[in-house]
Structure 1
C-alpha cells in the first residue's frame, strides 16, 4: 500500500516475486557490500530499492538475517480498477507506486507512506506456480520465482502456462 499525497491509498495484491541470496551470483550482495546495496545486508523487513540498467527502480523486501544479503524482488502487483498490466514487471511496479531510491531502507511494516499488509482473506489459499527467475544472466536455472496462477498481471508466465481468461482471472476487490 502507498499513501498518496491527497491522503488516498494506492493498493494492490503482490502476484509475482523472485528470491535472491548472497550465496548465488545473481544477488546484489554476492560480490561485495557497497553503499548501493547496504540495505540488503541490513535488518529484515526493509525495502531495498535499486536502479536497474540506469533507468528502472526495482523494489525488494530484505529477508533472513542482518549481515547476510537476502531479498525478495517484487515483480508484479494486480491493482483493482486499473489496467491489469499496469504494474506487471519490477520497473512498472515501482513507477506505478512512486517507489525510488528515497524509499530504500523504509520498514515494510507501515512506519511511513509505503507498506505491505497480509493478503485479503479471499486469497487465503492461492494457487502459486514456482518457476525459474527471469531477466538475469546468472542463476537463471534456480526455481526461485513464484506467481499467482489466476492473475493476468504476471510479468511473464512459465512456458506452457496460459494466461487465464479475463472473466476467470483474479481481480482484487
Structure 2
C-alpha cells in the first residue's frame, strides 16, 4: 500500500495569504475519494486575497456566504462563481480577518496536462464542492495539502542558488478590481498553468516538469 503524504501543519496557514500563496507552489493537493482511490497532484498556480483589497470576498462586510473566510486558518473556503463553478480556497492569516489563497491549477501525473488548469477544472477533477466549505485542511476531511516533495524542493533550491526563480509572480486574473496587485504565482516549468503572462512561453514538452517524476512512489 502506498503511504499517503502527511499534511502541512495548521501553523503553516496562520500567515498572510501573500506569504502562503507562493509557498504552496509545488505542494501536493491530496484527495481520498469515497471508493478509496487517492488523487495527488502538484499545485502549480495560486492567488492571494486579503480583506484590505477590493477583490477579496470579505472586503466590504462579513456575511453568511463568506463567513468561512473570516474563520480559523487552515480551513477550506469554497464558493460558486457565476452559480456554476466551484472555486477552492484555503483560509490563511488570523480569525476575524478575511484572508485566503485560491488554488488555481494542479498538475496530475499520467493525465492530460490541462485537466486541472484553472479553479473550476481543479474542483471538478478532484470532486470538490460546497460540502467541503469550512472543513479542516486535513486527512479527516478527505482532502488536504502536503509539503513540496523533496526532489522538487531540491530543484527549487538549485534554481535559486543560480539566481533563477522557478516561480513567476504576476497580477491576478479574472477580477475587475485591484488588478495591479502582483498576487498570483505559478510554476514556470509547468504546462498546467491556467494562463501565462504575456511573453512567457509555454515550456516545450521535452523541457517541462513532469509531475510523475516528483510524485513517484
CA–CA separation in structure 2 for the residues paired with 1:122 and 1:132: 29
Which of the residues 123, 134, 138 maps onto 2:152? 123
Does the CA-based 8 Å contact 1:16-1:154 persist in structure 2? yes
State the Cα distance separating 1:109 from its structure 2 match: 2.5
Matching of residue 57 in structure 1 with residue 96 in structure 2: no
CA–CA separation in structure 2 for the residues paired with 1:79 and 1:23: 34
TM-score by length of 2: 0.78
State the Cα distance separating 1:111 from its structure 2 match: 2.3
Structure 2 unmatched ranges of 5 or more: 1-29, 160-165, 213-217
SS in 2 for 1:94: helix
Does the CA-based 8 Å contact 1:109-1:117 persist in structure 2? no
Structure 1 unmatched ranges of 5 or more: none
Q: Deviations over 1:127-149 (max 9, x none)?
A: 11100000000011110000000
Which of the residues 125, 128, 136 maps onto 1:107? 136
CA–CA separation in structure 1 for the residues paired with 2:93 and 2:140: 20
SS in 1 for 2:151: helix
From the two aligned structures, give the one with the greater helix fraction.
2
Q: Which runs of 4+ in 1 moved over 2 A?
A: none
SS in 2 for 1:12: strand
TM-score by length of 1: 0.98
Aligned residues: 173
Matching of residue 48 in structure 1 with residue 87 in structure 2: no
CA–CA separation in structure 1 for the residues paired with 2:170 and 2:43: 16
C-alpha RMSD over aligned residues: 0.9
